[in-house]
Amino acid sequence: MPKSPTALLHRAKERTSASLFVPATIALSCTALFIVLTGQYTDLDLYLADLYYDPVRQLFPWDRSWFGRDFMHGYLKNVIVWSGFLLIAAALADLARPWRRLSPLRRLQLRFLALAATLEPLLVRSLKQASNLHCPFAIDRYGGSEPLLRLLDAVPAGWHPGHCFPAGHASAGMWLSALAILWLPRQPRRALAAFAGGLAIGLTMGWVQQMRGMHFLSHTLATAWISSALLLAMLALFRKPLQAAAGQSNAATRAAGATSAPVAGELAGSRR
């Protein structure tokens, strides 16, 4: 028995969605290699930190600026963090007492966002607490007291952990890349744009931290990689539920349209 056009279209969308994970996984593998090789075997981290360090005053001037300390590390971070808290609260409220006006797709997207806002900063913070690497301001090259330790270097005996890798502040903004879920699975191009926009906000926050001497470039890039890998893993887990919820929403929309059509016809006839 031949399949209906709707079923064929659904199957094609499912194959297309699944095929997107292959290039994404390849891209993550390549960028992981780039981050490790750049941070370990080049001086790009040091070159960029040197640009913002004042050797005469032995400090990073941007660390004392209103823009770097108060706005980027204070106001902007607080707005994003509290936005995440509101999403988490909304998801929990809907879980306790489901909102009737929320479609199955929107409900799943809300829970996805709440999970991303929880897991991404938590994962980065946990890795940071276990890290031996120091921040630039703590390194002797920039007025600190610790020698430079790279990602793959052997940890010397008696080493004091720096707890500075990956970048924690950038993670406060990079979970915004999960907003891409609002356009999935129907509009993958807009979803990709939303992902890039969220990642750009986190990278910008991380770059300002580099200007303040709080992180190296490799720290920020590692956070971007972790955020992207986590999002990809979550999308893999949510892929089929998202497609099912989208199908339910489409069916409900068609049913509502079919119900309203006779009513509209009767109204039109009564006006004649």
From first to last of the 272 residues of the chain, give the pLDDT tens digit.
445 444 444 554 545 455 678 899 999 999 999 999 999 999 999 999 999 999 999 999 999 999 999 999 999 999 999 999 999 999 999 999 999 889 999 999 999 999 999 999 999 999 999 999 999 999 999 999 999 999 999 999 999 999 999 999 999 999 999 999 999 888 889 999 999 999 999 999 999 999 999 999 999 999 999 999 999 999 999 988 888 888 776 665 555 555 554 544 554 555 55
pLDDT score at 65: 96
Which residues, other chains included, contact 53 with Cβ-Cβ below 8 Å and sequence gap of 6+?
59, 60, 136, 142, 213
Between CA 170 and CA 198 the distance in angstroms is 11
Please give the pLDDT value at position 269.
Answer: 55
Q: Which two tokens stand for residue 82?
A: 């509290």
Give the pLDDT confidence score for residue 9 in this predicted structure.
42
Q: Check: CB of residue 23 under 8 Å from CB of residue 192.
A: no
With H, G, I as helix, E, B as strand and everything else as coil, classify residue 139: strand
Q: Classify 59 as helix, strand or coil.
A: strand
DSSP lists the bridge partners of residue 139 as 146
Closest to 209 (Cα-Cα) out of 123, 119, 136, 147: 136
How far lies 135's CA from each of 167, 214, 226, in Å? 9, 5, 19
Q: What per-residue confidence (pLDDT) applies to 5?
A: 46
